């Protein structure tokens, strides 16, 4: 299975999926014109990866998300939730700059419906 | 007819049909045919009922699944709206902070040069349009370099903060003040002539001269000089500033800790 690497721009996060490491990393702001186009490859990659029964860690360094990106993230967490209920190991680490506590509050909102391990981690950037 | 009566009747008919005594009875053939027809109808009704029940079950299940999906999507939508609202308010606050940072002087908290330039432009335009007076005051801390040299930049910064506070407390509600650069400050006074402005400036000068500060155990002598210029009709902002600057230079030359009004 190929790795995935989408370069970030000012309005879109970078997305890097590493098969060997079993990680997906998203970093930056996200207010794309077409969030479906942006997140679809990542969702497909995650779904295909999880079909192989391997553990997955999703590392997020996201700052601003527009509404459709919020929806996309919730869809991704739904995929992880299904995998978790099916007995697979999935972990989300949401990193935030300790200068910006409000990102942590927002991560808490996302975490609310997730039963898999979901860490919200302060970081000095 | 209830089920028990039905079963009872069926039993009677079946017994009659099976009884060899009824062989040859002309009614036996008719009854036998009628009974077969009855059984077949009964069987059909049974089947129709079963099929109909199954349809109902499927339809009920579908409805439940749809309701479930609808409720889930509704919850998701509410959550998206909630999170999105919070992101938006975060952005709004960040915007405010950025605006603050871009117009305020980081050290003293009063306006910075950018804010002063923008205000000067707006106030000059207003004064010209409405033919109202506008006065600009340039302030320079006296012998500031010697404070920095003798006691270090930290002491110098403290002096600037105290002076900025004195200026902020001294201006009227409609006046704007800011740090013009280094140890220079500016006050923009709309609707005020140079003479009227001088009264405000004099109080400000006294307040600054009255600042009590210690450095290395010794009291610091703090004062500032002021150049006041009232805008002339049609005058460019930079020219008004230059005249205020010249008046400030005069105040310095005339002994510091004083103001001069530009001619």
Nearest Cα of chain B lies from the Cα of A23 at a distance, in angstroms, of: 25
The answer to whether the CB atoms of B82 and A74 lie below 8 A apart is: no
Say if B60 falls within a structural domain: yes
Domain match, B89 and B6 both: yes
B91 at A interface, C-beta within 8 A = yes
Say if B40 falls within a structural domain: yes
Nearest Cα of chain A lies from the Cα of B108 at a distance, in angstroms, of: 22
The answer to whether the CB atoms of B83 and A106 lie below 8 A apart is: yes
Substitution target from B87, B88, B94, B95 for chain A, most A beta carbons within 10 A: B87
pLDDT of residue A42: 95
Substitution target from B76, B81, B83 for chain A, most A beta carbons within 10 A: B83
Whether residue A20 is predicted with pLDDT greater than 90 in this model: the reply is yes
Domain match, B139 and B232 both: yes
The answer to whether the CB atoms of A70 and B91 lie below 8 A apart is: no
Say if B108 falls within a structural domain: no
Please report the domains of chain A, with CATH numbers, ordered by start residue: 4-123 (3.30.750)
Per-residue confidence band for A125, with pLDDT thresholds at 50, 70 and 90: low
CA B175 vs CA A4, A97, B182, B192, B195: distances in Å: 58, 39, 21, 10, 15
Active site residue B62: no
Domain match, B130 and B257 both: yes
CA B226 vs CA A43, A68, B167, B233: distances in Å: 66, 56, 12, 22
Q: Which of B30, B65, B99 is the last residue of a domain?
A: B99
| Cβ atoms of residues B222 and B167 within 8 Å | no
Q: Given A64, A67, A103, which is nearest B80 (Cβ)?
A: A67
B98 at A interface, C-beta within 8 A = no
The answer to whether the CB atoms of A109 and B79 lie below 8 A apart is: yes
Residue matched to tokens 């039905």: B6
Give the mean model confidence (pLDDT) for residues A10-34. 95
The answer to whether the CB atoms of B76 and A74 lie below 8 A apart is: yes
Question: Nearest-CA residue of chain B relative to A77?
Answer: B76
Say if B51 falls within a structural domain: yes
Q: Which of B65, B99, B133 is the last residue of a domain?
A: B99
Strand, coil or helix: A52:
coil
Residues of B whose CB is below 8 A from A112: 79
Domain match, B117 and B92 both: no
Cβ burial, residue B67 (10 Å; 0-12/13-18/19+): exposed
- H or E element that contains A23: strand A23-30
Say if B135 falls within a structural domain: yes
| Cβ atoms of residues B188 and B111 within 8 Å | no
Say if B250 falls within a structural domain: yes
The answer to whether the CB atoms of B79 and A105 lie below 8 A apart is: no
pLDDT tens sequence for chain B (263 residues): 677 788 898 899 999 989 988 888 888 899 999 999 999 999 999 999 999 999 999 999 999 999 999 998 898 899 999 999 999 999 999 899 898 889 999 999 999 999 999 999 999 999 999 999 999 999 999 999 999 999 999 999 999 999 999 999 999 999 999 999 999 999 999 999 999 999 999 999 999 999 999 888 889 999 999 999 999 999 999 999 999 999 999 999 999 999 999 98
Q: Beta strand pairing status for B224-230 and B259-261? A: parallel
Q: Tell me, what's the ipTM?
A: 0.82
Residues 28-87 of B with CB under 8 A from A: 76, 79-84, 86-87
Give tens-digit pLDDT for A101-112.
889 999 999 999
Domain coverage including residue B250: 113-261
Nearest Cα of chain B lies from the Cα of A48 at a distance, in angstroms, of: 24
Q: Which of B38, B73, B99 is the last residue of a domain?
A: B99
Domain match, B31 and B95 both: yes
pLDDT of residue B1: 63
* Domains identified in chain B, total number: 2
Domain match, B166 and B223 both: yes
pLDDT of residue B3: 72
Domain match, B249 and B139 both: yes
pLDDT of residue B208: 96
Give the mean model confidence (pLDDT) for residues A21-50. 94
| Cβ atoms of residues B219 and B237 within 8 Å | no
Domain match, B257 and B129 both: yes
CATH of the domain at B205: 3.30.70.270
Say if B127 falls within a structural domain: yes
Phi-psi group of B206: left, alpha or beta (phi > 0 → left; psi -120 to 50 → alpha; rest → beta): alpha
Domain match, B66 and B118 both: no
Domain match, B63 and B186 both: no
Domain match, B55 and B12 both: yes
Instruction: Return the CA Rg of chain B.
Output: 49
Model-level pTM greater than 0.90? no
Contacts of residue B212, defined as CB under 8 A and 6 or more positions apart, other chains included, come to B219
The answer to whether the CB atoms of A102 and B86 lie below 8 A apart is: yes
Q: Given B80, B82, B87, which is nearest A64 (Cβ)?
A: B87
Domain match, B83 and B132 both: no
| Cβ atoms of residues A120 and A96 within 8 Å | yes
DSSP string, B112-144: -HHHHHHHHHHHHHHHHHHT--EEEEEEEETTH
């Amino acid at each position: 299975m190929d790795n995935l690497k989408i370069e970030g721009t000012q309005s879109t996060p970078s997305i890097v999926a590493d098969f060997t490491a079993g990680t997906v990393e998203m970093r930056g702001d996200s207010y794309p014109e077409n969030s479906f186009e942006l997140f679809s490859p990542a969702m497909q990659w995650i779904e295909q990866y999880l079909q192989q029964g391997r553990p997955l860690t999703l590392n997020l360094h996201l700052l601003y998300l527009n509404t459709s990106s919020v929806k996309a993230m919730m869809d991704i967490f739904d995929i992880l939730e299904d995998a978790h209920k099916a007995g697979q190991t999935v972990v989300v680490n949401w990193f935030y700059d300790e200068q910006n506590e409000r990102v942590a509050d927002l991560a808490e909102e996302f975490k609310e419906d997730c039963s898999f391990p979901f860490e919200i981690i302060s970081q000095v950037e | 007819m209830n089920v028990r009566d039905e079963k009872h009747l069926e039993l009677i008919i079946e017994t009659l049909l099976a009884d060899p005594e009824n062989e040859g009875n002309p009614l036996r053939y008719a009854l036998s045919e009628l009974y077969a027809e009855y059984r077949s109808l009964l069987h059909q009704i049974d089947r129709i009922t079963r099929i109909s029940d199954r349809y109902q079950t499927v339809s009920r299940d579908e409805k439940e699944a749809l309701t479930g999906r609808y409720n889930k999507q509704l919850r998701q939508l509410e959550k998206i709206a909630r999170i999105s609202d919070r992101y938006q308010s975060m952005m709004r606050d960040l915007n405010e902070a950025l605006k603050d940072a871009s117009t305020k002087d980081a050290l003293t908290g009063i306006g910075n040069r950018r804010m002063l330039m923008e205000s000067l432009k707006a106030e000059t335009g207003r004064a010209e349009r409405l033919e109202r007076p506008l006065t600009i005051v340039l302030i320079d801390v006296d012998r500031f370099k010697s404070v920095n040299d003798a006691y270090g930049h930290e002491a110098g910064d403290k002096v600037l903060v105290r002076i900025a506070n004195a200026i902020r407390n001294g201006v009227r509600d409609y006046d704007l003040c800011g740090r013009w650069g280094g140890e220079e400050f500016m006050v923009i006074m709309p609707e005020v002539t140079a003479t009227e402005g001088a009264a405000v400036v004099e109080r400000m000068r006294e307040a600054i001269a009255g600042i009590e500060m210690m450095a290395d155990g010794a009291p610091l002598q703090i004062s500032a000089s002021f150049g006041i210029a009232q805008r002339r009709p049609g005058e460019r902002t930079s020219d008004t500033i230059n005249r205020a600057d010249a008046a400030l230079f005069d105040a310095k030359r005339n002994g510091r800790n004083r103001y001069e009004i530009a001619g």
